[in-house]
């Protein structure tokens, strides 16, 4: 159990590094696909006894019109990690619960048409993982706004989750920062640097509210990573 907790952050980092591979998720997964896999793949042998309850979770997710690809991915991950069969169903139900919450947030933020967006699956995946990592639902809402768009949201959420792990992100200043990011011309490839800049600020005892406000102000006035580093470095040298 302890080992699992210790390896969780590493797993999260690995996931975000492997995120570009999300496009190769199996497409068009149905409960039948899952049933066939459970019956034929030798790796699923210890889980065959609970196969009906697993399929029940997939059926209910299918009724909710959730993308089963993500749930199937979770199932494969659980099987590969040899999660105790008795726990696997709970894990899958937790994933369904998170996916429902994330879809609701995405629909509220981007509109119902979001499900047709090519980035929808990735949006669901990063959103679910954010909630799993303890990122607050309230924090996810400001990131899902039409101004920012789902493509930018997919790039911004992983760094925000990492920042939240380092030091809890207060919701109000986070909303201000996200608004600033959405308005800025900063390329999404540079969002990752927010993590190490935030870490440097945190190590320099700058409170999270202040860090987010400084970063937000800089982005709002047209600045970028260079300016953020300069100003945070000035504050940490006090």
Partner 1 sequence: MSGTNHMGKTRYLGFLLSVGFWVSWFLCPLNLWGDVRIGMEGAIEKRENGDRVYLPQGWVNVSVSHFVSESLSLFGDFSAKGGWDTGMKDIPYDVSSSLSGTFRGESFFFGLEGGLRGVRRYDTARQLEAYLSSNVSYTMAETSLFLKPFLQTVLGPTDSTTISLEPGIEKLFGEGWMGALSFRPALTYYTDGSSEVSLEPKLTLDWFPSVPFTASIRGGWTRRLLDNSDVLRESVVGTLEMIWYPSLHTILQLNATIEKVYRALIVTEKGLTLTSELELRVGLPFTKDSWDLVLGGGYEWRIDSGNPQAEDGWFVRVGLEMKL
Summarize as ranges the residues that interact with partner 1 (CB under 8 A).
Answer: 6, 9, 13, 16, 158-159, 162, 165-168, 189-193, 195-197, 199-200, 202-203, 205, 207, 209-210, 213-214, 217-218, 220-227, 229-231, 234-235, 238
Structure tokens at 94: 């937790």
Task: Quote the least distance from Cβ 208 to partner 1, whole Å.
Answer: 9
* C-beta of 139 vs 159, nearer to partner 1: 159
* C-beta of 50 vs 166, nearer to partner 1: 166
Contact 154, 123 (CB under 8 A): yes
Structure tokens at 223: 């600045």
Task: Quote the least distance from Cβ 6 to partner 1, whole Å.
Answer: 7
* C-beta of 19 vs 55, nearer to partner 1: 19
In 3D, which of 11, 12, 17 has the Cα closest to residue 162? Answer: 12
Task: Quote the least distance from Cβ 24 to partner 1, whole Å.
Answer: 21
Backbone angles phi, psi at 65, to 5 degrees: 60, 35
* C-beta of 16 vs 37, nearer to partner 1: 16
Residue corresponding to tokens 């937790």: 94
Q: Helix (H, G, I), strand (E, B), or coil: what is residue 138?
A: helix
Residue corresponding to tokens 């008795």: 86
């Amino acid at each position: 159990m302890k080992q699992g907790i210790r390896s969780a952050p590493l797993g999260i980092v690995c996931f975000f590094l492997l995120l570009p591979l999300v496009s190769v998720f199996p497409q068009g997964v149905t409960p039948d696909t899952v049933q066939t896999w459970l019956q034929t793949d030798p790796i699923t042998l210890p889980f065959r006894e609970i196969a009906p309850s697993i399929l029940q979770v997939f059926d209910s997710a299918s009724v909710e019109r959730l993308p089963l690809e993500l749930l199937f991915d979770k199932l494969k991950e659980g099987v590969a990690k040899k999660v105790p069969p008795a726990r696997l169903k709970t894990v899958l139900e937790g994933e369904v619960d998170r996916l429902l919450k994330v879809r609701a947030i995405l629909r509220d933020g981007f509109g119902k048409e979001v499900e047709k967006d090519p980035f929808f699956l990735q949006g669901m995946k990063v959103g679910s993982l954010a909630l799993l990592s303890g990122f607050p639902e309230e924090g996810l809402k400001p990131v899902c706004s039409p101004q920012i768009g789902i493509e930018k949201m997919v790039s911004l959420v992983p760094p925000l989750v990492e920042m939240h792990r380092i030091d809890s992100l207060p919701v109000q200043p986070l909303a201000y920062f996200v608004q600033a990011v959405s308005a800025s011309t900063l390329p999404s490839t540079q969002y990752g640097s927010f993590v190490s800049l935030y870490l440097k600020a945190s190590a320099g005892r700058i409170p999270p509210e202040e860090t987010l406000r400084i970063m937000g102000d800089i982005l709002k006035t047209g600045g970028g990573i260079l300016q953020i580093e300069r100003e945070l470095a000035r504050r940490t040298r006090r």
